[in-house]
């Protein structure tokens, strides 16, 4: 399969989603450069075998940095940092943000911040961006892209916001909400992959992993003819 044409940012278009996934596609173990339990759960559900090695990087947005550039930069920085410790494995880095009117919303600083974010999202469409970076050092290979899903919120009363903050740990979620946790209380509609909002477009990731060098090597080994033993006399 030909490599996708790179975008000016260094990213490539998201891989087309295929039905095959995880161990059924013969994928090798992937190193996940993230402590996110939601990303681990998505990969496990898709049958992707993983190791976890968390990258410690500064995630502060740069001045005037576009949201897409921000998530791509952080995803690649996470993957690069961990790939140094696992040069012969494919490393997966990812970063997710909520974007409203061009403003980036990461994880809230405190409950007051979480409530304020939910007020701003109330009754409106916003975008969830997840930057994904797959990186292998030996042989050198990488794929970087940004997945987008549009989300519309219900119009939320102050009581609804307070109730949601009691039910969900909003402090560890970009945009102060998790679609997989009582999401029906805040989310009215989505356009795009559900998994992107959770934190990883796993359908696209599995398709991309099938193109990694390690996957091709494994396929060649599986199809290599077996040597026959000489007949005994």
Amino acid 228: pLDDT: 54
- Residue 11 inside a domain? The answer is no
Amino acid 71: pLDDT: 98
- Residue 116 inside a domain? The answer is yes
pTM for the whole structure:
0.81
- Residue 127 inside a domain? The answer is yes
The radius of gyration computed from the CA coordinates of the chain, to the nearest angstrom, equals 20
Q: What is the CATH number of the domain that holds 89?
A: 3.90.950.10
Distance in angstroms (rounded) separating the CA atoms of residues 172 and 195: 17
* Total tally of structural domains belonging to the chain: 1
Beta carbons of 133 and 72 less than 8 angstroms apart = yes
Tell me which of 80, 95, 159, 172 is the catalytic residue: 95
- Residue 231 inside a domain? The answer is no
Domain that holds residue 207: 22-217
Q: What residue ranges of the chain have pLDDT lower than 70?
A: 1-26, 214-233
What are the pLDDT digits (tens) for 33-53?
999 999 999 999 999 999 999
Amino acid 213: pLDDT: 78
Distance in angstroms (rounded) separating the CA atoms of residues 43 and 55: 18
Neighbouring C-alpha atoms within 13 Å toward the C-beta of 174: 26
Cα dihedral angle (43, 49, 51, 54), rounded to 10 degrees?
-20
- Residue 30 inside a domain? The answer is yes
Residue 138 C-alpha from the chain's centroid: 23
- Residue 5 inside a domain? The answer is no
- Residue 158 inside a domain? The answer is yes
Three-state DSSP class for residue 166: helix
Distance in angstroms (rounded) separating the CA atoms of residues 30 and 108: 30
Tell me, yes or no, if 69 is annotated catalytic. Answer: no
Beta carbons of 94 and 143 less than 8 angstroms apart = no
- Residue 229 inside a domain? The answer is no
**Any residues with CB less than 8 A from the CB of 143 and at least 6 apart, and which?**
4, 12, 15, 132, 133, 134, 208, 211, 212
């Amino acid at each position: 399969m030909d490599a996708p044409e790179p975008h000016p940012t260094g990213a490539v278009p998201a891989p087309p989603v295929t039905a095959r996934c995880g161990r059924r596609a013969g994928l090798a173990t992937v190193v996940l450069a993230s402590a996110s339990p939601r990303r681990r759960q998505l990969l496990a559900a898709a049958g992707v075998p993983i190791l976890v090695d968390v990258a410690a990087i500064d995630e502060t947005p740069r001045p005037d940095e576009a949201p897409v550039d921000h998530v791509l930069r952080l995803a690649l920085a996470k993957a690069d940092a961990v790939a140094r410790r696992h040069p012969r494995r494919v490393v997966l880095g990812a970063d997710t943000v909520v974007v409203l009117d061009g403003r980036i919303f990461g994880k809230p600083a405190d409950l007051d911040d979480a409530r304020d974010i939910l007020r701003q999202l109330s009754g409106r469409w916003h975008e969830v961006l997840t930057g994904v970076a797959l990186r292998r050092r030996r042989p050198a290979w990488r794929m970087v892209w940004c997945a987008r899903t549009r989300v519309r919120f219900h119009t939320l009363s102050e009581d609804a916001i307070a109730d949601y903050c009691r039910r969900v740990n909003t402090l560890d979620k970009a945009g102060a909400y998790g679609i997989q946790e009582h999401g029906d209380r805040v989310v009215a509609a989505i356009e795009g992959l559900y998994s992107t909002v959770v934190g990883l477009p796993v359908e696209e990731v599995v398709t991309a992993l099938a193109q990694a060098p390690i996957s091709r090597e494994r396929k060649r080994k599986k199809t290599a003819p077996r040597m026959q033993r000489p007949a005994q006399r």
